[in-house]
C-alpha cells in the first residue's frame, strides 16, 4: 500500500480552497493566491486597457476556465482587495467616494489596493484608490494623522515605511501621493529611530529626512546623552559613513555656532565702511545679531535662520560669514562632504 499517496515527500498536500467572495461558478479564468482560488470573468478584470490581465488574455491560447493561473508573491488579502475594486457596484463606489474622512482601518486597506493595482498595471484603479484617500481636506488630514499619530515607535515607524514604500512605487501614476507622503515626514524625522530614518532618507533620496535624523543625534550629543565620536556611536545601528557624518556635522555646526552666537570678540574683521550696518542706517547689524543669537543658544535652527537674515542685510556680516563657510541650511553641515 502506498502510504504517500496524495503527498509530496511524505507531507500531505493541502488542497486549495475557493474564495468565499470571488469564486464565481460562471467565471472563465481561475487564479490562485497562496492557497485560495479566485474564479473570475476575463471581460470584467480586463477592462483597464493597461492592466496585466488585458495583456495576459490577449496573448493566451485559450485554456479551460479550470486551468489555474498562479499569482506568486500575492497575498489572499491583497488579491481579494483588488477583486473588491474590480467588482464594486456603482452605488458602493459612489458611497466610498463620498466619504468625508477615512478611518485608521480603511487607510491600510486603500494602501493595499494601491499597491496591488500598481502591481498588476491597473492605473485607473490606482488613481481611484488615491482619490479615496485624498480628495478633500478631511481625508488629507486623516492620512496625515495616520502617519503622525504613533502609539509606539515601532508601530509608527512601520506606518511611515509602509506609506513611503507604496507612494514611491506608484509615483509615476500618482505623483501627488509621493509629494503628500514625503512632505509628512517631519514628525517621523524628529521622533523616529535615527538609524532607520537615515536608511529611509537614503533609500528614497529624502535629504531633509537624513538631516533631521542627524540633527536628532546632534541634540542628543549636546545633552551629553551620547558621545559624538566613532566609538561613542558604535551601538547606534549606524553605518560607518553615517557615523562619520555625525562626527563631522557635530564639529562643523558647533564651530559655526561658536562664531555666530558666542564669539570672544563680537566684531567681525575688516568691516565694510560702505555697509549699512556700519553707517548705522539699520543699526549695529553684527552686534545685534550676536545678542539675538545668544538668546537662542539651545535653538541652533533659529540661530542659523536669524544669521542668514542678518547676512542678507549687512555686507560686512555676509563677507565675514562667507569666510567662515556659513550656510543657513542646517542640512549642509551634516550632508556636505
Secondary structure (DSSP) of 33-100: ETTEEEEE-HHHHT-STTSHHHHHHHH-----TT-EEE-TT--HHHHHHHHHHHH--HHHHHHHHT-S
- Among 76, 97, 126, where does a domain finish? 76
Q: Is residue 303 part of a domain?
A: yes
- How many structural domains does the chain have? 2
Q: Is residue 217 part of a domain?
A: no
Q: Is residue 237 part of a domain?
A: yes
- In this prediction, residue 44 has a pLDDT band, given cuts at 50, 70 and 90, of very high
Q: Is residue 85 part of a domain?
A: no
Asked if pLDDT for residue 199 goes beyond 60, the answer is yes
User: Left if phi > 0, otherwise alpha if psi is -120 to 50, otherwise beta: which for 237?
Assistant: left
Q: What is the DSSP string of 244-299?
A: HHHHHHHHHHHHHHHHHHS-SS-S-SS--TTSHHHHTSS--HHHHHHHHHHTTTT-
- Among 37, 55, 76, where does a domain finish? 76
Q: What is the pLDDT of residues 204-258, one digit of tens each?
A: 998 888 888 898 899 899 899 999 999 999 999 999 999 999 999 999 999 999 8
Least confident range from 10-14, 129-133, 151-155, 182-186: namely 10-14
Choice between 279 and 276, residue whose per-residue pLDDT is larger: 276
The phi and psi torsions of 19 (rounded to 5 degrees) equal: -65, 140
pLDDT for position 286: 74
106-119 vs 137-148: helix axis angle to the nearest 10? 100
Kind plus residue range of the DSSP H or E element containing 39: strand 36-40
Asked if pLDDT for residue 281 goes beyond 70, the answer is no
pLDDT for position 3: 37
pTM for this predicted structure? 0.77
Domain residue limits at 43: 13-76
- In this prediction, residue 7 has a pLDDT band, given cuts at 50, 70 and 90, of very low
For residues 174-187, give the mean pLDDT. 86
Cell 504613533 found at: 150
Q: Is residue 209 part of a domain?
A: no
Asked if pLDDT for residue 6 goes beyond 60, the answer is no
Cα separation, 28 vs 12, in Å, equals 29
- Among 23, 54, 76, where does a domain finish? 76
**Do residues 278 and 272 make contact, with C-beta atoms less than 8 angstroms apart?**
yes
Asked if pLDDT for residue 52 goes beyond 50, the answer is yes
pLDDT for position 288: 78
Pairing between strand 7-8 and 11-12? antiparallel
How confident is the prediction for the chain on average, in pLDDT? 84
Return the number of other C-beta atoms located less than 10 Å from residue 195's C-beta. 15
For residues 257-261, give the mean pLDDT. 87
Q: What is the pLDDT of residues 79-114, one digit of tens each?
A: 999 999 999 998 888 887 777 778 888 899 999 999
Least confident range from 3-17, 198-212, 247-261: namely 3-17
Q: Is residue 199 part of a domain?
A: no
pLDDT for position 114: 97
Asked if pLDDT for residue 58 goes beyond 60, the answer is yes
Cα separation, 201 vs 195, in Å, equals 10
- In this prediction, residue 277 has a pLDDT band, given cuts at 50, 70 and 90, of low
Q: Is residue 72 part of a domain?
A: yes
Q: Is residue 158 part of a domain?
A: no
Q: Which residues of 253-265 are buried (b: 16+ CB within 10 A; e: fewer)?
A: beebbebbbeeee
Cα separation, 258 vs 247, in Å, equals 17
Least confident range from 4-18, 23-37, 171-185, 267-281: namely 267-281
Cell triple for 166: 507604496
Cell triple for 292: 539675538
Cα separation, 119 vs 78, in Å, equals 11
The phi and psi torsions of 209 (rounded to 5 degrees) equal: -70, -40
Amino acid at each position: 500500500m502506498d502510504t504517500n499517496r496524495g503527498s509530496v515527500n511524505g507531507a500531505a498536500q493541502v488542497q486549495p480552497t475557493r474564495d468565499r467572495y470571488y469564486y464565481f461558478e460562471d467565471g472563465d479564468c481561475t487564479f490562485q493566491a497562496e492557497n485560495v482560488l479566485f474564479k473570475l470573468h476575463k471581460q470584467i478584470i480586463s477592462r483597464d486597457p493597461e492592466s496585466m490581465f488585458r495583456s495576459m488574455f490577449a496573448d493566451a491560447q485559450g485554456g479551460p476556465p479550470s486551468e489555474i493561473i498562479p499569482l506568486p508573491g500575492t497575498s489572499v488579502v491583497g488579491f481579494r482587495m483588488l477583486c473588491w475594486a474590480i467588482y464594486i457596484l456603482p452605488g458602493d463606489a459612489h458611497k466610498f467616494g463620498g466619504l468625508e474622512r477615512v478611518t485608521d482601518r480603511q487607510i491600510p486597506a486603500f494602501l493595499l489596493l494601491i499597491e496591488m493595482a500598481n502591481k498588476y498595471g491597473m492605473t485607473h484603479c490606482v488613481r481611484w484608490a488615491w482619490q479615496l484617500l485624498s480628495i478633500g481636506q478631511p481625508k488629507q488630514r486623516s492620512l496625515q494623522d495616520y502617519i503622525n499619530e504613533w502609539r509606539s515607535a515601532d508601530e509608527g515607524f512601520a506606518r511611515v515605511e509602509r506609506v513611503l514604500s507604496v507612494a514611491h512605487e506608484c509615483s509615476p501614476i500618482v505623483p501627488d501621493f509621493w509629494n503628500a507622503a514625503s512632505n509628512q515626514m517631519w514628525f517621523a524625522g524628529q521622533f523616529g529611530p535615527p538609524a532607520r530614518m537615515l536608511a529611509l532618507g537614503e533609500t528614497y533620496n529624502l535629504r531633509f529626512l537624513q538631516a533631521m535624523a542627524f540633527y536628532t543625534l546632534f541634540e542628543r550629543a549636546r545633552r551629553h546623552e551620547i558621545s559624538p565620536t566613532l566609538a561613542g556611536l558604535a551601538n547606534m545601528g549606524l553605518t560607518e559613513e553615517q557615523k562619520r557624518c555625525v562626527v563631522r556635522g557635530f564639529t562643523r555646526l558647533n564651530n559655526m555656532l561658536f562664531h555666530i552666537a558666542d564669539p570672544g570678540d563680537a566684531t567681525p574683521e575688516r568691516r565694510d565702511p560702505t555697509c549699512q550696518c556700519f553707517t548705522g542706517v539699520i543699526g549695529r547689524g553684527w552686534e545685534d545679531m550676536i545678542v539675538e543669537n545668544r538668546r537662542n543658544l539651545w535653538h541652533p535652527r533659529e540661530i542659523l535662520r536669524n544669521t542668514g537674515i542678518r547676512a542678507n542685510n549687512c555686507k560686512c556680516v555676509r563677507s565675514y560669514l562667507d569666510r567662515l563657510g556659513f550656510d543657513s541650511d542646517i542640512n549642509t553641515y551634516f550632508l556636505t562632504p
